[in-house]
Amino acid sequence: MTGGTRGAAELFRDGVAVITGAGSGIGLGLAERFGSLGMTVVAADISRDRAALTVAAIKAAGGRAHAMTVDVGNAEDISCLAASVHDRFGDVRVLVNNAGIETVGFTWEISADRWDRTLDINIHGVVHGCRAFLPRMIASGKEAWVANLASVGGFGQMPIQTSYIMSKHAVQSFTECLSLEIELAGAPIHIASVIPGMVRTHIFDATEADEGAVAVAHRTAMREVMAAGGMDLAKASERIVDQLAAGAFWVSTQPRMTRTFLDARISFLRDQSRPRLADDLMPIFADMPVAT
């Protein structure tokens, strides 16, 4: 399914866009972009305060937006969100399953609760979002878009970020299969895997869940890399929305970076190599503290 020659300004000038994790990061950037094009944005976030700030920014720019709270890791919670959005605003044209968290540290040092929370938000949040919203989107018979946030990390390997990388591999696989299911169902819904590269957000800010020197050191190193070479959030968001409008399945903020990760993955699988750090990642781990 393709979006033809219509552009984002034409396709997304009205209708409802629901974005989870809209209180910060890429969710915030996409909420502002869809709002600037004329859509009514439902900014959903686990933090009402963060969602409200996003809504305030969209309204200040002349857009329409509403803040709603949701815990995407809770299936009942996101089902209630879907029902409430439909009752208040009608059919949803764009759903962005964006909510996600970064967890860092050695696998055996991360608590079971943090492991569960990471996978619930990053994986189950995407699944729950699709299960909650798709039935009504399909029933409407209208053209719509579902975008799931994967990552270039979903094609690679990265120690200390194991739970996050694992979750993004899962999101990519889920989205590929979901696309086939929508095709079999004959629904006019575009499914997209959004693959951000290095975009300047606050995802590597310290959290109370960080345990040990390894987690702190890794977050610090990644923040520095992001600050030095990350893409501007507004530019990344515009690229994402333009590719959604074009009907793309593969939606990359930095296509060359995505290609590099894909090529490395293809070689790894073809050669059945042992996992290894890419040369450009070695400096990040050069001074890593020893695990406790």
Whether residue 113 lies inside any domain: the answer is yes
Q: Is residue 30 part of a domain?
A: yes
Catalytic residue from among 12, 133, 155, 164: 164
Question: Does the annotation count 148 as an active-site position?
Answer: no
What is the predicted pLDDT for the residue at 1? 45
Neighbours of 151 (CB within 10 A): 23
CATH number of the domain that 64 lies in? 3.40.50.720
Q: Within 10 Å of residue 52's Cβ, how many Cβ atoms?
A: 17
- For residue 292, being part of any structural domain is answered with no
Q: Report the domain count for the chain.
A: 1
For 173-233, the DSSP string reads HHHHHHHHHHHHHT--EEEEEEE--SB--STTS--TT--SHHHHHHHHHHHHHHHHHPBPH
Q: List, for residues 146-190, the tens digit of each pLDDT value.
A: 999 999 999 999 999 999 999 999 999 999 999 999 999 999 999
Alpha-carbon separation of residue 15 from 69, 162, 219, 231 (angstroms): 20, 38, 38, 28
12 domain residue, yes or no: yes
The answer as to whether 3 is a domain residue is no
In a domain, 273, yes or no: yes
The residue range of the domain holding 229 is 8-253+260-285
Which tops the pLDDT comparison, 226 or 140?
A: 140
What does the alpha-carbon distance between residue 196 and residue 150 come to, in Å, rounded to a whole number?
A: 7
pLDDT of 69 above 50: yes
Which of 218, 223, 220 is CA-nearest to residue 291? 218
The helix (run of H) or strand (run of E) holding residue 169 is helix 162-185
Instruction: Tell me what pLDDT residue 290 has.
Output: 58
What six digits make up the tokens of 230?
A: 């990350």
- The arithmetic mean of pLDDT across residues 61-67, rounded, is 98
Residue 1, in any domain of the structure:
no
Q: What is the C-alpha separation between 133 and 92, in angstroms, rounded?
A: 8
Alpha-carbon span 111 to 233, nearest angstrom = 31
Lowest mean pLDDT among 66-70, 124-128, 161-165, 224-228: 224-228
Does residue 92 lie in a domain region? yes
Residue 53 has pLDDT above 70, yes or no: yes
The answer to pTM > 0.75 is yes
If you average pLDDT over residues 256-268, what whole number do you get?
A: 95
Alpha-carbon dihedral angle through residues 229, 230, 236, 237, given to the nearest 10 degrees: -160
